[in-house]
Amino acid sequence: MSKLAIEQKRHTLTEIGAGLFLIWSVLHIYVGIVGLSNFLTKDLSEQWKLLIGGEKVPFSSFIIPQDASTAYGQSHLILNFCLDVGGYGVLGIFVAWMIWKKSSWTGYLIGLIVIGIADLSFLFAMVASGVIVKDVATVAGPIIWFVAVAITPFGLMQSKNKTLL
């Protein structure tokens, strides 16, 4: 294999990693949008449907509070969670851009550490614990993140255009 072919393969791995971070970002921005939409247009039970329904917290046995104060607090906590998820999605766009355009190790490390904290805490606190439904929608993000952080370094290691930032 020629040097040019090897460099192109590594560049392709960098682009795939950046693309996966971008896909991850779109999924998470979508959660923020749905959470905001539900907050503005639906009741608390509909808001909770975004976050529960797993084997340990089935929606059928979950008690929606009837007092205004508790309902108000829970509604705003759910909104905050969903907007935080959307905010991580925005961060992921910057990570994808830094990796794609700059072959940036800093971008990669932000994706590995910061986005990793967000995704792994969701995976273990919500999915693996049985709070939220375990399905394609809830495990796709962590899987996409894992593949992105696994392959991106192979492209960055030999990139001629790599930068710290």
Residue-level pLDDT at 4: 55
Rg (CA), the chain: 19
**Measuring CA to CA, which residue among 97, 103, 95 is closest to residue 163?**
103
pLDDT at position 165 is 60
* The pLDDT of residue 157: 87
163 strand-pairing partners: 104
**What pLDDT was estimated at residue 8?**
58
| E strands in 24-164 | none
Quote the tokens at residue 79. Answer: 């909104």
User: What is the C-alpha separation between 152 and 28, in angstroms, rounded?
Assistant: 20
User: How far, in Å, CA of 140 to CA of 147, rounded?
Assistant: 11
Mean pLDDT in runs of 10 for the chain (165 residues)?
Answer: 57 93 98 98 97 97 97 98 98 97 95 97 98 96 98 85 59
Tokens of 8: 């192109």
Q: What are the structural domain ranges in the chain?
A: 20-156
Angle of helix 3-41 relative to helix 136-156, nearest 10 degrees? 150
**Phi, psi dihedral angles at 104 (to 5 degrees):** -85, 120
pTM: 0.90
What pLDDT, on a 0 to 100 scale, did the predictor assign at position 11? 78
Identify the pLDDT of residue 3: 57
